[in-house]
Amino acid sequence: MARDDPIPFRPPYAAEDATHMLYANSLWHHVLEYGKGSAMVLIPGMTAAAANYGFFAQALAPVHRVFVPDARGRGLSDHPGSGFTLDDYAADLFGILDRLELAAPILVGHSMGARIAAAFDVAFPHRAAGLVLIDPPLSGPGREPYPYPLAMYHSMFEIAHRSDDPIAAMREIEPSATEAALAERIRWLRATDEHAIVETYRGFHEEDYHALHVSVTALAILVRGERSVVVTSAGADELRELRSDIPVIDIPNAGHLVPHENLAATCEVVRAFAGELNVERGSSTRAHETR
């Protein structure tokens, strides 16, 4: 249910430049802001809060103004009892961008966030300057199921809420994560609605990403971990065939948790794409001015 208090308790993060509580699409949304420069919106994965992607936002912040929202049902945004389809998430994002007065940001979505970015662009054409789609789940009607079982996510909630040694237990699921990252993960899982995860997971199998990929209007790139079991090599080949104009870029030494496992290479790709968009914008502006 939506919180009665429009501005809930906010733990200290200290790293971000600003924090926002915005009312949009009939919910309160919590958004972190980092840095200065051209606008970029970073959309986290299914079980993550905005704070879990602070490391990624800070790495991009020296040249970008990066906004990271808590998706509905996560973190300090409202936790409604329903509304976890891609259409719902896209409508939330539209409202957030409107309230922040962001005319044409670059959307950088990871996992669930990539699906949301694509759905947003299809629903609201030309509202985003560009899309960086990082390892979106390709499961859907008639396709192979999402490779990570729902039971794993239930186990994560059990660990976060009831384990005697949650960090050790969570390390068995995410062995490459640091102790600090595991602690942050556990902290924000405790502020996540398990029902939101169940319904979003259902959407991974009932909502077709490929139909969105074909219909994207903004300039876009698809980024995958070279070891990803979510966007496999075969899955990447299919996406190339569907849209040859959307490059598929492999990040070395990374699986599905692309920015977590190779932050430097991921940021390099994002910055290069943003630079290309800026050049194209400049060319378009000069062409318009000479008419």
* Span 131-159, average pLDDT: 97
Residue 167 · residue 186 · CB < 8 Å: yes
pLDDT tens for each residue of 48-84: 999 999 999 999 999 999 999 999 999 999 999 999 9
Higher per-residue pLDDT: 290 or 52: 52
Q: What angle do CA 50, 55, 60 make, to 5 degrees?
A: 100
Mean pLDDT of the chain: 91
% of the chain with per-residue pLDDT over 90: 85
Cα–Cα nearest to 42, from 54, 30, 26: 54
Q: Are 100 and 252 in contact (CB under 8 A)?
A: no
How do residues 88-141 score in pLDDT, each as one tens digit?
999 999 999 999 999 999 999 999 999 999 999 999 999 999 999 999 999 999
Q: How far apart are the first and last CA of the chain?
A: 54
Exposure letters 82-119 (e unless 16+ CB within 10 A, then b): ebbbbebbbbbbbbbbebbebeebbbbbbbbbbbbbbb
Per-residue pLDDT at 291 exceeds 50: no
Q: Calculate mean pLDDT across residues 225-230.
A: 98
Task: Output the six-digit token pair for 57.
Answer: 């936002």
The arithmetic mean of pLDDT across residues 250-261, rounded, is: 96
Ranges of H-type helices in the chain: 54-60, 86-100, 112-123, 150-162, 166-173, 179-189, 194-206, 209-215, 233-242, 258-261, 263-289
**Number of CB atoms found within 10 A of residue 272's CB:** 12
Helices (H), 126-178: 150-162, 166-173
**Lookup: tokens for 150:** 């729902």
Q: Is 274 in contact with 64 (CB distance < 8 Å)? A: yes
pLDDT band at 236 (very low <50, low <70, confident <90, very high): very high
What is the rounded average pLDDT of the residues 186-209?
97
**CATH class as words, domain 18-142+208-289:** alpha beta
Looking up tokens 């070395």 gives 252
Query: What does the pLDDT read at residue 190?
Result: 93
Q: Say whether pLDDT at 170 is over 70.
A: yes
Residue 278 predicted with pLDDT over 90: no
Residue 244: is its pLDDT beyond 70? Answer: yes
pLDDT of residue 12: 44
Q: Whole-model pTM above 0.85?
A: yes
Q: What's the number of CA atoms in the CB half-sphere (13 Å) around residue 4?
A: 0
